[in-house]
């Protein structure tokens, strides 16, 4: 039994909600810290302390409020609210499709934040963010479709308690999900819209004009999102929670390796490759499964 | 029954009155009163309904004769137009239709008794509500719109009496379609909507309008011909002209007429391979696009498909129908990405959503029909709102291009708010279309995963083109002049009502489903889809609640938030001011922001051609398998 098992079997949904809302940013922040440390070691640097992301965010909160126009921060707040809502819906065991739709809503607010500023860098960042969303959206929906085909339900709690090994039924869907996970985690080669690294040709892309508290909210929002994305990995291995935890860690490490070994793709290649992978792995898996599961 | 007859006859009477009165203010007064009466009529129908299908006899030989006379007159008129403008395909279809009509009336009619000419069930009540309420408000909007339209288009003849005559006549015909049980009656009203659409598209009378009008006419006449053939077959072989009996008791003889009528439905609702007429029809004045080409007339096509689809159930034809719908949804959603003309984006999105409805009809399970009806309702409200916003903007900016809508939220804040509501209603949680898409996806998965995959790809495209449009509108720039001071109260009223309705239908959706849609589904299938709906409703309400942050936060930022430092945008460190920067040779350049249209991937020409060929193939299969 891992703590995740205890969490899944908790009956009190309010407690679950509190645990998620408090714990997710801590885990997400730590993950970001570890990520930076490992990346640094891969590049032969010592790297920042593990807690550096927290220091950064706390410092951002104390910064002066600098804006381009009065309404630019407004969409970011909605992005943050809906991101927390989406995560809660997932970890409370809600409908997986609704989780995906709510995630889309949060993503749309984030892109709109970029549009509303009227800055060329933000704008191109927002357009690319949309292209990324369009690229990964079909695959994410197919993840839900595949899980529904195997378990007969969209409810996350029921999927998490499903006994069979989902990964064996959905290997293609899983590979497709890994592909889009790289986009969602904003890792190279798919970090088109914005990136933390210094090698971005778009300055900071979408978040160029955001600073201070708003930037901190963007960061924390992404921590919530990353925890949610890892949660979806866990669902594939939910029949054995040790395996599930191991899979999350190994795959995140794998994403760090990818991040450090690939140069950035152009948006055309990102889009094409993602839709192709979705069709070849995700869609094919689902169609085969449909015929395999027919009596 | 009185209400139904009132709803069919009254708008036609009003249309004649409006045509004959020369005084503008009197016409306006009559229009307002008529619309109030229509809305009251449809709501009366809703309250008076027993929740189940009721059929009415209304046997009268004079009605039949009047219809026949009118039908022949209209055919002669179309013949005249076809010859005058040298559109011989139109002449050809009309002649065939006339021949079929004469043959049928002369040979088969004495043998076919019709017990019930009219009927009402929950589905037709839902459509009547859409036609009555949304249609009325669009007509009110048109009063303000047409005034400005003629100011902008001095070159075109001021035929506004004829315009309103057609609009109200059209409402009448729509009510006729949804309440008729006699196939010949449906056909009669069907042809009237075709002709109204033709004349309204042609309203501007320039070459492009006339071309588009004939394109719409030709395709719909082709559909009409198939409809007439279906009726003849039903009368001669199945021995009935009643829609309900044909579907319920027709057996093997119902299959061919059902396929032919479904063909007519595909043409009417602009599915591939017929979609070209709808995108061309966008030259019509915007209220026409809102009323005929998004919220009602094209819905008549999917309505009849949903009605006849049970007769095809289990055949390959039904599967083909669902693939045609799925293909149309996919192709139209993709093409919409590459379009920068606002009305064309709306047209393609309409085609796409109707495609989903057709796909649901083809699948024909209780879940699928449930989501099809939801799609019809939500789409009608949100899309008519979008069209009317674009119409207003077009009058103010003299352009339908999305690229000219930069900073709209600063120039026309209220219209932009309505538009944002409309766009959200089209694709975002927790609004209507998303609820129905969620239901549709569930219906698709259980039927065939290929359809679910199509939906997944298509929705991704939808997300892209709506969000970039919304991004364009909400881009913020200071120092712009407000341009919506001179919008007429007619237009404001309609925009406000439709905006609230777009939000309202999401809130009353549980009620709508349990009071109207579910009884209909139970009557049809015996069971209603059992979904985890309670949870969904709660989640949707939470999301709606969270969205109330939106206006609150806006007010906070507008008035209360004072503690900030404003700077210019970052322009590579070479700013001259907020929008200009120093270029490479020291020249000042303005940063001009444009959207992506991804033409390399989603070009209209390429995709349309692929879609057309595939769809023709599917239609041939659909008709082929039932004939053999």
Tell me, yes or no, if A121 comes closer than 8 A to chain B by beta carbon: yes
Query: Is the distance from CB of B291 to CB of B145 less than 8 angstroms?
Result: no
Q: SS3 of B587, please?
A: coil
Q: How far is CA B499 from CA B289, B388, B392, B462, B505, in A?
A: 18, 11, 14, 21, 10
Residue B155 lies in a domain: no
pLDDT tens, position by position, B439-497: 888 888 888 889 999 999 999 999 999 999 999 998 888 878 888 777 888 889 899 99
Q: What is the mean pLDDT of residues B540-557?
A: 76
Write the CB contacts of B374 (distance below 8 Å, at least 6 apart in sequence). Answer: B432, B435, B436, B439, B509, B513, B517
- Whole-model pTM? 0.94
pLDDT tens, position by position, B361-417: 999 888 899 889 989 999 999 999 999 999 999 888 888 888 888 888 888 888 888
pLDDT tens, position by position, B154-182: 887 788 889 999 999 999 999 999 999 98
Residues in A 222-281 with any Cβ partner in B closer than 8 A: 268, 271, 275, 278-279
pLDDT tens, position by position, A201-254: 777 788 888 888 899 999 999 999 999 999 999 999 988 889 999 999 999 999
Q: In the 8-state DSSP scheme, what is residue B282? A: G
Interface test with A, best of B338, B444, B476, B590 (most A CBs within 10 A): B476
Q: Given pLDDT bands bounded at 50, 70 and 90, which one contains residue B534?
A: low
Q: What are B555-563's contacts with CB under 8 Å, separation 24+? A: B557/A70, B557/A71, B557/A73, B557/A74, B558/A70, B558/A71, B561/A70, B563/A65
Predicted pLDDT at A219: 93
Q: How far is CA A244 from CA A226, A227, A232, B37, in A?
A: 16, 14, 10, 64
For A279, nearest residue in chain B (alpha carbons): B453
Write the CB contacts of B613 (distance below 8 Å, at least 6 apart in sequence). Answer: none
pLDDT tens, position by position, B99-123: 888 888 777 666 677 788 888 989 9
Name every chain B residue with its beta carbon within 8 A of the beta carbon of A138.
453, 456-457, 459-460
Predicted pLDDT at A198: 54
Spans of all domains in chain A: 3-293
Predicted pLDDT at A196: 64
pLDDT tens, position by position, B497-511: 999 998 888 888 888
Token pair listed for A139: 């695959």
Tell me, yes or no, if A102 comes closer than 8 A to chain B by beta carbon: yes
What H or E segment, with its residue span, contains residue B580?
strand B580-582
For B458, nearest residue in chain A (alpha carbons): A138
By CB atoms closer than 10 A (0-12, 13-18, 19+), residue A113 is buried
* Dist CA B229 CA B75 (whole Å): 16
Residue B551 lies in a domain: yes
In this structure, the number of other CB atoms found within 10 A of the CB of residue B497 comes to 18
Token pair listed for B150: 């003629």
For A155, nearest residue in chain B (alpha carbons): B532
Predicted pLDDT at B236: 83
Task: Output the average pLDDT for chain B.
Answer: 87
Residue B234 lies in a domain: yes
The residues with which A67 forms a beta bridge, in sequence order, are B566
Containing structural domain, residue B101: 67-113+184-565+592-627
Predicted pLDDT at B459: 92
* Dist CA A137 CA B574 (whole Å): 37
Q: What is the DSSP string of B181-204?
A: -BHHHHHHHHHHHHHHHHHHHGGG
Tell me, yes or no, if A94 comes closer than 8 A to chain B by beta carbon: yes
**Nearest alpha-carbon partner for B312 in B381, B252, B371, B233:** B252
Query: Is the distance from CB of B515 to CB of B446 less than 8 angstroms?
Result: no
Residue B126 lies in a domain: no
In this structure, the number of other CB atoms found within 10 A of the CB of residue A46 comes to 8
Predicted pLDDT at B531: 58
* Dist CA B264 CA B406 (whole Å): 41
Query: Is the distance from CB of B195 to CB of B189 less than 8 angstroms?
Result: no
Q: What is the DSSP string of A194-209?
A: --SSTT-TTTTGGGTT
Task: Please provide residue B566's backbone torsions phi and psi, each rounded to the nearest 5 degrees.
Answer: -95, 135
Query: Is the distance from CB of A127 to CB of B472 less than 8 angstroms?
Result: no
Across the interface, whether the CB atoms of A126 and B471 are under 8 A apart is answered yes
Predicted pLDDT at A1: 63
Across the interface, whether the CB atoms of A101 and B434 are under 8 A apart is answered yes
For A77, nearest residue in chain B (alpha carbons): B553
Token pair listed for B371: 């989501």
What H or E segment, with its residue span, contains residue B142?
helix B135-152
Token pair listed for B200: 């309204």
| B286 to chain A, closest Cα gap in Å | 28
Across the interface, whether the CB atoms of B476 and A117 are under 8 A apart is answered yes
A117: left (phi over 0), alpha (psi -120 to 50) or beta: alpha
Residue B535 has pLDDT above 70, yes or no: no
Residue A141 has pLDDT above 60, yes or no: yes
pLDDT tens, position by position, B562-618: 777 878 788 777 788 777 888 778 788 888 888 899 888 999 899 999 999 999 999
Residue B241 lies in a domain: yes
Q: How far is CA B38 from CA B10, B120, B513, in A?
A: 8, 17, 23
Residue B28 lies in a domain: no
- With a pLDDT cut of 70, the percent of chain B lying above it is 98
Residue B189 lies in a domain: yes
Domain count, chain B: 1
Residue B159 lies in a domain: no
């Amino acid at each position: 039994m891992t703590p995740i098992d205890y969490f899944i079997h908790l009956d009190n949904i309010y407690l679950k909600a509190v645990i998620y809302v408090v714990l997710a940013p801590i885990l997400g922040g730590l993950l970001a810290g570890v990520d930076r440390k490992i990346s640094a070691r891969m590049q032969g640097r010592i790297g920042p302390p593990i807690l550096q992301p927290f220091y950064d965010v706390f410092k951002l909160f104390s910064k002066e409020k600098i804006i381009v126009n009065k309404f630019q921060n407004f969409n970011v707040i909605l992005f943050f609210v809906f991101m927390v809502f989406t995560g809660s819906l997932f970890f409370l065991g809600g409908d997986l499709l609704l989780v995906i739709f709510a995630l889309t809503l949060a993503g749309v607010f984030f892109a709109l934040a970029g549009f509303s500023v009227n800055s060329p860098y933000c704008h191109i960042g927002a357009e690319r963010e949309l292209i990324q969303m369009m690229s990964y959206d079909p695959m994410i929906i197919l993840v839900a479709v595949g899980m529904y085909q195997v378990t007969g339900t969209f409810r996350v709690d029921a999927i998490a308690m499903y006994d069979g090994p989902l990964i064996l039924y959905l290997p293609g869907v899983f590979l497709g999900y890994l592909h889009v996970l790289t986009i969602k985690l904003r890792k190279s080669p798919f970090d088109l819209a914005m990136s933390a690294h210094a090698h971005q040709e778009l300055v900071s892309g979408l978040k160029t004009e955001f600073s201070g508290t708003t930037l901190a909210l963007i960061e924390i929002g992404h921590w919530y999102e990353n925890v949610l994305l890892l949660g979806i990995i866990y669902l594939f291995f939910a029949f054995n929670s040790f395996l599930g935890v191991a899979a999350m860690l190994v795959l995140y490490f794998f994403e760090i390796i990818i991040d450090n070994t690939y140069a950035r793709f152009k948006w055309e290649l990102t889009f094409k490759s993602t839709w192709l992978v979705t069709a070849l792995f995700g869609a094919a898996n689902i169609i085969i499964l449909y015929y395999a599961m027919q009596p | 029954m009185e209400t139904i007859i009132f709803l069919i006859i009254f708008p036609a009477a009003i249309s004649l009155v409006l045509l004959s009165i020369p005084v503008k203010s009197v016409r306006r007064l009559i229009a307002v009163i008529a619309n109030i009466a229509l809305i009251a009529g449809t709501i009366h129908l809703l309250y008076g309904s027993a929740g189940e299908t009721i059929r009415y006899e209304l046997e009268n030989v004079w009605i039949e004769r009047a219809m026949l006379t009118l039908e022949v007159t209209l055919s002669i008129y179309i013949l005249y137009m076809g010859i005058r403008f040298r559109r011989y395909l139109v002449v050809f279809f009309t002649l065939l239709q006339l021949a079929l009509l004469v043959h049928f009336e002369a040979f088969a009619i004495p043998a076919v008794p019709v017990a019930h000419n009219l009927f009402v069930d929950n589905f037709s009540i839902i459509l009547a509500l859409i036609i009555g309420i949304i249609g009325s408000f669009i007509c009110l909007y048109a009063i303000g719109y047409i005034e400005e339209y003629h100011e902008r288009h001095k070159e075109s003849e001021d035929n506004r009496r004829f315009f309103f005559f057609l609009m109200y006549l059209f409402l009448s015909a729509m009510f006729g379609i949804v309440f008729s049980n006699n196939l010949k009656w449906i056909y009669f009203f069907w042809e009237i909507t075709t002709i109204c659409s033709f004349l309204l598209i042609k309203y501007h009378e320039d070459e492009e309008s006339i071309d588009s009008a004939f394109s719409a006419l030709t395709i719909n006449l082709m559909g009409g011909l198939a409809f007439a053939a279906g009726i003849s077959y039903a009368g001669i072989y199945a021995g009935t002209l009643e829609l309900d009996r044909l579907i319920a008791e027709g057996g093997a003889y119902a299959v061919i007429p059902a396929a032919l009528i479904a063909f007519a439905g595909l043409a009417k609702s602009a599915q591939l391979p017929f979609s070209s007429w709808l995108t061309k029809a966008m030259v019509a004045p915007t209220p026409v696009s809102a009323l005929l080409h998004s919220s009602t007339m094209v819905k008549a096509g999917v309505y009849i498909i949903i009605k006849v689809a049970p007769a095809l159930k289990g055949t390959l034809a039904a599967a083909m129908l669902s693939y045609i719908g799925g293909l149309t949804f996919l192709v139209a959603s993709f093409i919409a990405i590459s379009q920068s003309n606002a009305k064309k984006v709306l047209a393609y999105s309409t085609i796409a959503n109707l495609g989903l409805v057709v796909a649901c009809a083809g699948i024909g399970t209780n879940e699928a029909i449930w989501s099809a009806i939801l799609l019809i309702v939500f789409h009608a409200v949100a899309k008519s709102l979008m069209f009317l916003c674009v119409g207003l903007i077009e009058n103010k900016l003299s352009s339908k291009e999305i690229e000219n809508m930069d900073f709209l939220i600063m120039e026309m804040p209220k219209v932009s708010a309505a538009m944002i509501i409309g766009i959200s209603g089209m694709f975002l949680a927790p609004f209507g279309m998303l609820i129905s898409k969620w239901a549709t996806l569930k219906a698709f998965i259980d039927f065939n995963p290929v359809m679910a995959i199509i939906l997944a790809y298509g929705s991704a495209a939808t997300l892209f083109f709506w969000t970039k449009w919304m991004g364009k509108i909400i881009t913020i720039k200071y120092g712009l002049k407000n341009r919506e001071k001179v919008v007429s109260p007619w237009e404001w009223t309609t925009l406000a009502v439709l905006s609230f309705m777009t939000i309202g239908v999401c809130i009353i959706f549980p009620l709508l489903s349990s009071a109207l849609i579910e009884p209909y589904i139970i009557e049809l299938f015996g069971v209603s889809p059992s979904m985890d709906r309670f949870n969904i409703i709660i989640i949707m309400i939470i999301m709606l609640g969270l969205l109330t942050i939106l206006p609150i936060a806006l007010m906070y930022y507008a008035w209360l938030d004072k503690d900030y430092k404003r700077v210019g945008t970052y322009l590579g460190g070479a700013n001259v001011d907020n929008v200009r920067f120093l270029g490479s040779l020291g020249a000042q350049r303005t940063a001009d922001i444009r959207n992506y249209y991804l033409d390399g991937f989603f070009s209209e020409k390429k995709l349309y051609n692929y879609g057309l060929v595939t769809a023709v193939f599917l239609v041939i299969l659909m008709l082929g398998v039932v004939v053999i």
